[in-house]
Structures are given as C-alpha cells and as structure tokens.
Amino acid sequence: MQIDAEKLLNTSQKLANLGLNKGTSGNASVRVDGGFLITPSGLSVEQMSASDMVNMHLDGTIADSDAGKKPSSEWRFHRDILANRPEINAVIHTHSMFATTLACLHKDIPPFHYMIAVAGGDTIRCAPYALFGSQALSDVALLALQERKACLLANHGMIALGRDCDEALAVAQEVENLCEQYWRTLQLGEPHILSEAEMREVFQQFKGYGRWAQ
C-alpha cells in the first residue's frame, strides 16, 4: 500500500510539473486490494505526502485505517470507473488548459489526427455538464468513457485512464496535446477529418505500436 501511495503522489507531482494541474485542481486514484487510493481534498501537490492518500472501498466508504481523512470531492467517478472497468487500474482528472477550453465549448474531439486513437476510439467524447463531485457527473462520465480511455467533462476538464499510473499519465498528456493541436487548427479553419476506414487502419497499426499497443 505504501508503494501505491508513493506512486500516486509521484503521479500527482508530475501532473503539476507538466502544467496539467495547478494549485488544488484535479485528482488521481489507483486500484489497490479491496478498493482504491485517491488523492485528498483541498491539498496542493506541494502540501501532499504519501500518507495523505485516502484508502477507499468500492462501496464508497473510507477504510477504517484512514478514518478522518477527506478524499477528493470527485471520488464518485473514480470509484465508479474502477468498479465498472476491471482493465483500468488508474484514473487521472485534470483541469488542463486546452482540454478544459474545448470542454467549455462542449466539443467532442474528432479524428483530425490519427493519435486520437490513444483514447480508444475515433473520437474523444465530451460528457454533458453536471455538478462537480455529484453522482450525476459520474454517470455522464461513465457513458462518455464507454470503450474509451479518455473523455472531456463539459465546463470542467478531462479524465484519463490507464492500466497503471504511467499509462494514465501518458494518455492525459497526449489528450492535452491533441486538444491544443485541435484548438490551434480551429483558429485557421475546419480540419480535414480522417475517415472510418483510415481510422481502422490506425487501430490495426496500433496493435504493435509501442506503449499504445492494443
């Protein structure tokens, strides 16, 4: 458990160093035996230590050993994603600049670039707006994440998933990069969108493509 807590802290520090989260924004979780560890509420990365990570059960209760700790307000979608996606072991939520900018426009990200495939499909969906920390937000996020490893949250930010913290972080970085590219492209006009057939070729190629191998 201590190793998992240190990994979660390290991931949170990387999110801040990369500029994907600032201040107390965003959160992250990792699956552990019996539930998951999640970052605490209201602490900046500079204030966090591994011992601040909160151990929660998949029924939404806090482990007895962590009684008195306050988990991130977004624990519901972390819990629901991990409960419904057994292949996923890490969840990252960011308020990164370009993902949030497009989320405020309620825009899905179309296949303007083949790397859209890293999110698991030929689009990155934007979930409808729902209040932060609410079950409604978790419900719309789960729908947007069906057969996907990332989605935008309207007027809010981004969620990225992975088999472990490293993959979830890589997905978050790539999605933010794609959002910036899409935003810049829109300043010049409408991009050419890859066809379904072209994206099928991408997925076939991804079967042996480094960290993104399917």
Q: Which of 74, 167, 174, 176 is catalytic?
A: 74
Alpha carbon distance 101, 106 (integer Å)? 9
Whether the Cβ atoms of residue 167 and residue 89 lie closer than 8 Å to each other: no
Alpha carbon distance 142, 200 (integer Å)? 24
pLDDT at site 207: 82
CA distances from 96 to 99, 112, 123 (A): 6, 20, 19
pLDDT at site 117: 95
Whether the Cβ atoms of residue 36 and residue 56 lie closer than 8 Å to each other: yes
Active site annotation includes 174: no
Whether the Cβ atoms of residue 84 and residue 145 lie closer than 8 Å to each other: no
Whether the Cβ atoms of residue 103 and residue 71 lie closer than 8 Å to each other: no
Whether the Cβ atoms of residue 57 and residue 63 lie closer than 8 Å to each other: yes
Alpha carbon distance 87, 100 (integer Å)? 26
Is the CATH number 3.30.70.240 carried by domain 2-212? no
**For the chain, which residues make up each domain, given as ranges?**
2-212
pTM of the shown model: 0.95
Local mean pLDDT, 10-residue blocks, the chain (214 residues): 92 96 95 96 93 96 92 98 98 98 97 96 97 98 98 98 97 98 96 96 82 58
Q: Which residue has the tokens 């810049």?
A: 184
